[in-house]
Structure 1
């Protein structure tokens, strides 16, 4: 079997092929070995903590059973496992780690991937995604055990029992401190909520109803097949909720992915808004309307609209590599109003250093309630100050045999993208080329497919078509 490797958001694999109970137990033992080693260090933040680890899972096949298998391995190593009592959103697990002052957490989730995938995500003691340094140590511990033929004589699948907890009340308490629910209640809103058969059921919809919102729910029951489509709140995934809005049954639609760390937002006219736009609106709202102080942070391929809003409002901006673990690290080190990425995740000051789709959706409802206007209209007003931003991401399939040569060519830098001169070359994560007039393109290779992702930002739709064509030619 191939080695267990942790990517941007943990270890993922196909259920019963790569992701099996034996391999999950092996991964759990590697994490146990890592935690034991860390706790022996006197300077480690884990040294004086109780040996408690929070476990959770989303609504995927065998999520609870995989979690119980992990619990058995951890408790055999002297740790106490606390299992969330139902499928639980990733940000809720993160919050629970912090509230319980646990050593960390292990979450069975493959986020927005199709139903046949499962995943194991390890979070640190502060609720943030594991750092590259931590995952390298865990991978090494797993490889060492694997080389020695380690195995675990576990209980019959699904029969092990550990202590269970309800993380919802503590999470709701924190969200009520971060969101202006009285403003939402005063606005008497109608909102369509797309729950994607996922772990966000009973969280976003319940909080909105408690604020007096008339909620129309879509797919608000557990289905590990996710309706035969990936549980992703993109334009396609939000189609039914968007149709409800366009028909006048709701003034906006809010959606969550399978583990509720990503968000989807549809405006009053039925238009799906991009994560880039939502991140920009969140910064605008928290700085202008809530008067929060601090900086903002985005990843390399995230829209420079964030930079423009930050500049307009006098906010410092940071750029990080792709992965919320980098954003989370900054959020723990200095005051950050909002941090986010183009793939649909954000968090805010005073909250967990992890993506929270529930909070993102609630803040958009709050913004509409406070300004009494659709999000699209707010964006149009902002364009008067910052100009237009057109963004896109295209996946370009390449010949696997040519992948190395293409990446080497990109690594050397390019003088032009088509006929447009390159002004700056950035290699923080992938290859990013800054062009005149605030435009740019970036290339990042997929770690699992023969695909190179191309991110583009232009000042007009016409320029977008021109640069899309140029990027395709570069990767031929």
Structure 2
């Protein structure tokens, strides 16, 4: 067995290779023992799952193991988005949440996310303990347990519908009246994921004319990863253009990420959405707590924070670090370039449904303007045009072996610009004299090295990308 490792967002592996029922039982038992060791008296855990192959069966198996080891389980009665499970943890005062999902990964993957009592992902100190205990349990015989039906009959596993409670929370967080007044036409691509009956339903409740794509369950996700990226949303873009829609909205497999298509079919980078929504939240809510972003996220949101004179925080990659700031009430908005976002008073976890609704609210209040028009105005207000890009680099074994040496021998200039600071918070980030930057970081969820860039023009983006490739020997 390949060792079970928790990355930036849980444990993910290929189904039937390392993501097996036996291994899910091991992880569930390790989680149960962790919770009991923390001194919780009859701890409670919310268990949910996504639309992937066998996800409901993996969730049932995990629920049975947790219950057999002294943990009361609230098991969702259907596939449920990650933010919904997070909110249910908070509402029930549970000790945590266990979610069977591989999020936006390709269909051959499944995974397991473990969240704490705040509803947000647990920190590495916790997952390290779980990983260690799993390795210890491998040497022990598996403990027999009662069947799930028997545990349900005893009230140790209870089926729940978390949907009404979560939808009520969205009604509190989003101005549905403003959306209704705008009479918007919106296309929604659910990418065969868990957001069906959530995002599309609340938009219809708000009076929108909604066209839904890929709302049925398909564990193969139509042959592609359920990732709301530019490449995966071309069908949505075509429908938005041809149908005269005001917006195209999408969520990933477990609805913790979002994708935005403007009225002309243009994909709007999540980096830009963060900056636009920070400005929108300050203007409409009067929030002055500031914002937080990961080290890999564009500094456009920093420019808005400076212009609005609110604080800005930077964290490692991984929403668990950003979520801590939401849980502490320090920020109005936190987000990352990979389409994760949450706001003050909500779960310390990514919520793609909420993000899509906030963009809808912003457009509803924009008096007929497009997202790109709002972005152009923002560039004028902050005095800088910023373009962001992420490139996945598949390195050869030789290139991987030389990577550390290359990153320890850095140039003083890149693409003709002086390097003014090197940031090693998470990866290696070179900040340049004109405010542009590049970051090299190994992915925590995929076997790639990622290159992130901020620049002031499309031409400069290409120059920095070429310079970074030369630096890495790619």
Shorter-chain TM-score tier: over 0.9
* Other-structure match for 2:35: 35
* Other-structure match for 2:450: 453
Cα distance between partner residues in 2 of 1:450 and 1:174: 37
8 A Cα contact 2:393 2:448, kept in partner = yes
Matches within 5 A, 1:230-249: 230-249=225-244
Q: Deviations over 1:304-340 (max 9, x none)?
A: 0000011111111000000000001111223311000
Could you tell me the TM-score, scaled by structure 1's length? 0.95
8 A Cα contact 2:198 2:353, kept in partner = yes
Cα distance between partner residues in 1 of 2:82 and 2:422: 35
Cα distance between partner residues in 1 of 2:343 and 2:136: 38
Aligned counterpart for 2:411 among listed residues 414, 424, 439 = 414
Kindly report the root-mean-square deviation, in angstroms, between the aligned alpha carbons of the 2 structures. 1.6
Cα distance between partner residues in 1 of 2:446 and 2:76: 33
Change (3 A) 1:10 1:95: same
Change (3 A) 1:6 1:311: same
Q: Deviations over 1:257-316 (max 9, x none)?
A: 000000000111110100101111110100123222212000001000000011111111
Equivalenced residues, count: 467
- Displacement of 1:155 in angstroms is 6.6
* Other-structure match for 1:426: 423
- Displacement of 1:447 in angstroms is 4.7
* Other-structure match for 1:462: 459
- Displacement of 1:156 in angstroms is 7.5
Q: Does 1:98 align with 2:90?
A: yes
8 A Cα contact 1:25 1:152, kept in partner = no
* Other-structure match for 1:439: 436
Aligned counterpart for 1:402 among listed residues 396, 399, 404 = 399
Q: Deviations over 1:357-382 (max 9, x none)?
A: 00000000000111222111111111
Aligned counterpart for 2:55 among listed residues 58, 63, 66 = 63
Cα distance between partner residues in 1 of 2:71 and 2:150: 19
* Other-structure match for 1:26: 26
* Other-structure match for 1:222: 217
Could you tell me the TM-score, scaled by structure 2's length? 0.95
Q: Does 1:149 align with 2:145?
A: no
Cα distance between partner residues in 1 of 2:446 and 2:352: 27
- Displacement of 1:251 in angstroms is 1.1
Change (3 A) 1:404 1:360: same
Dislocated runs of 4+, deviation >4 Å: 154-161, 447-450
8 A Cα contact 1:400 1:450, kept in partner = no
Unaligned runs of 5+ residues in structure 1 are 40-46
Cα distance between partner residues in 2 of 1:252 and 1:326: 31
* Other-structure match for 1:43: none
Q: Deviations over 1:21-54 (max 9, x none)?
A: 0000000111111111112xxxxxxx46x52110
8 A Cα contact 1:280 1:309, kept in partner = yes
Cα distance between partner residues in 1 of 2:248 and 2:317: 27
Matches within 5 A, 1:152-167: 152-153=143-144, 161=152, 162-167=157-162
8 A Cα contact 1:254 1:263, kept in partner = yes
Q: After the TM superposition, which of the residue ranges 229-238 and 440-449 deviates more from structure 2?
A: 440-449
